[in-house]
Chain A
Amino acid sequence: MKVVVCIKQTPSTTAVFTVENGQVTWDDPGGKPLVLNPWDEYAVEEALRLQEESGGDTIALTMGPDSSQDALKSCLAMGCGEAVQVWDDAFNGSDTLGTARILAASIKKISDVDLAIFGRQAIDGDTGQTIVQTAQKLGWTPLTFVSKIKAVDFDEGTITVERQLDDGRETVSARLPAVIGVVKEIGEPRYPSFMGIRKANRATIPQWSAADLEIGGGTGAAASKVDWSNIYGLPPRDTAVDFIEGETTEEKARLLVDKLFEEKVL
């Protein structure tokens, strides 16, 4: 078995954002401003679970600048055997399709991969597009919103998963190799072990650039077909809270219901 986990480094969930002239910066006064995308922790967990079950290799892969080595180290600390960082100035500003082309080329270079596991979405752009687009570029089966791998047979090349969709759940079987995107129900991610953290800190993570890959199609800002230049802060919610006061609970309930009928939201 050979499993690649695709991960991204993102701003933390508590990060505070500033936008100036369309440039977004952020800081997290209470913690680390950059983290392993929380959804991708579930992908790492599932890869490690498969490794424990079937043996074989797990390789954490990211397309991102040097700071993303920290996110890869988190994966190594959790228990991934290897990590690869892919970066090139030419990759800067890629849209999801550019990213998918780069990830597909990297997965091909890793070679003999049975399964590529992704998180549900990256919490910066929140698109969830990269999963299916990478599958399409590889010509592999995409299986998204996976809440459980019910069966996988790496020798036979088959997989059966449960998917959690807006309108219900479905059980789907498919042939390997496949690209899967996992959701939270797949299982709580483990904490890195002390030994794992030590190992991760000592690891030298290989870096691949455009020259190391055979990428089918354009990458970077020049090839991006999506213009993201106009990012701005939220308009503030217009009103301060109207606290409902009253002598009794019943009176408060009556006053609130009055207001809600006036708002015509019922």
Chain B
Amino acid sequence: MSGVWAWIEHQDGEIAAIGRELIGAGRNGADSLEEPLTALIFGHDIAGVANQAFDLGADAVIAADDLSLAQVRVEAYGPLIADLARERQPSVILAGATTRGRDLAAWVAADLDAGLVADGIALSFDSDRVIVTRPVYAGKLMADVFVTEGPQLITLRSRAFAPAEPTGKSGDVEWVQPAIAEDEISTQVMAVESSAGTVSLADANVIVSGGRGVGGPEGFEPIKELADVIGGAVGASRAAVDAGWIPYDYQVGQTGKTVSPDLYIACGISGAIQHQAGMRTSKVIVAINKDQDAPIFKLASYGIVGDLFEIVPALTAEFTRRLGE
């Protein structure tokens, strides 16, 4: 067995952020194991994307371009990766721990009867073995986990690995055929409503979140204004979501999204253990809360005790001034 493979997600003709991170992590892995890095890219009209993978540092690109692959469907993509893997025996297969990457990795592992480790946030290498550090029990504990035999399937969390930078390299894409025909696939995608354009929580560098302390739907206005000024995404606690002030898509926490931005600003959020589960790996945490004993201050790097309706607009004004300079 030899070779590190990475399944690369793309959107609108560009490799997605998680794809660049996978090539970055995969490059390190391939160099440590002294094996080549191969990018797997599937879709329709994807010649441009396939070439980008070389530029980002892949040694080889295996691509499939077909109408049946236009949408990511496990039934179409799964057998394609599994058949290639049976034929060529890679030692490692990486995917993003995204909604689509998780599904695909799980299916391929089941088809190959291989071991799978999800949600890696760091990798280390011990001869031909990849040790995956991952949070467990909602981030309350950590584990160093590895696959004991056969191909090692691993999914990696967004924003945990440095994205690959363009190298100027190019190469010849190897084009392969879909593994199964359209009429053997049970699922049909009838409609897609893309959330492209809005800042995705998983990819955000900066997140400004509001909790019960914002007091109502209009309380998210100052939160959004601050987020806009610093180019961040808006998040929320479950209390704010349950109150109907903001949709569930914004919820951060154990039963919402897991995020890991460079900066997380929690406004009017007490910091319940289930909220922490979704944001504790943020690099710098700022808490704004009028209760100086709120648990969020145990986790925060910086805190301001006070009314968020005074402090948040003051921060917006200060950032506007400073970033304008």
Q: Which residues of A come within 8 Å of B, CB atoms?
A: 11, 13-15, 17, 19, 24, 26, 38-39, 95-97, 100, 123-133, 135-137, 141-145, 160, 164-175, 178, 184-185, 217, 224-228, 230-234, 237, 239, 241-244, 249-250, 252-254, 256-257, 259-261, 263, 265-266
Contact = CB atoms under 8 A, between A and B. Distances in A.
A184 B255 contact: yes
Contacts of A184: 248, 255
A224 B117 CA distance: 12
The dominant DSSP class at the A interface is mixed
A41 to B, nearest CB: 10
A260 B115 contact: no
B195 interface: yes
Contacts of B127: none
B136 interface: yes
Interface stretch (B29-37, B55-63, B208-216, B310-318): B310-318
A132 B148 CA distance: 22
A130 B109 CA distance: 11
Nearest to A250: B314
Contacts of B191: 170-171
Contact of A266 (B230, B280, B303): B230
B138 A126 contact: yes
Contacts of B141: 17, 19, 24, 231-234
A60 to B, nearest CB: 20
In the A-B complex, the 9 residue pairs with the smallest Cβ-Cβ separation, listed nearest first, are A225-B115, A136-B110, A253-B314, A132-B106, A168-B194, A133-B110, A265-B262, A265-B263, A129-B106
Of B110, B139, B188, B315, chain A has the most CB atoms within 10 Å of the CB of B110
A263 B284 contact: yes
Interface residues of B, number: 88
A202 to B, nearest CB: 32
10 contacts: A11-B137, A13-B274, A38-B255, A123-B137, A133-B106, A225-B148, A227-B148, A241-B302, A252-B304, A256-B304
Contacts of B116: 95-97, 127, 129, 226
A256 B109 contact: no
B99 A95 contact: no
Contacts of A166: 98-100, 200, 202
B137 A170 contact: no
B311 A249 contact: yes
Interface stretch (B19-27, B41-49, B162-170, B292-300): B292-300
Nearest to B193: A169
Contact of A260 (B190, B196, B263, B311): B263
Contacts of A136: 78, 106-107, 110-111
A128 B150 CA distance: 22
B159 to A, nearest CB: 12
Contacts of A167: 11, 99-100, 194-196, 200
Nearest to A142: B74
A244 B287 CA distance: 10
A265 B301 CA distance: 13
A250 B302 CA distance: 16
Contacts of B300: 241
Given A174-B188, A253-B318, A242 B302 contact: yes
Interface of B: 11, 71, 74-75, 78, 98-100, 102-103, 105-107, 109-111, 113-119, 135-150, 186-196, 200, 202, 205-206, 230, 248-249, 254-255, 262-263, 273-274, 277, 280, 283-284, 286-287, 292, 297-306, 310-311, 314-315, 317-319, 322
Contacts of B248: 184-185
A166 to B, nearest CB: 5
Given A232-B141, A241-B297, 8 more contacts: A13-B273, A17-B141, A131-B106, A185-B248, A231-B142, A232-B144, A250-B317, A260-B286
A194 B317 CA distance: 55
Contacts of B315: 253, 256-257
Contacts of B150: 225
Nearest to A263: B284
A36 to B, nearest CB: 14
Nearest to A131: B106
B106 A96 contact: yes
B303 A170 contact: no
A124 B140 CA distance: 10
Contacts of B305: 243
A160 B299 CA distance: 43
B226 to A, nearest CB: 11
A39 B274 CA distance: 13
Given A126-B119, A225-B114, A250-B314, A234 B192 contact: no
B29 to A, nearest CB: 18
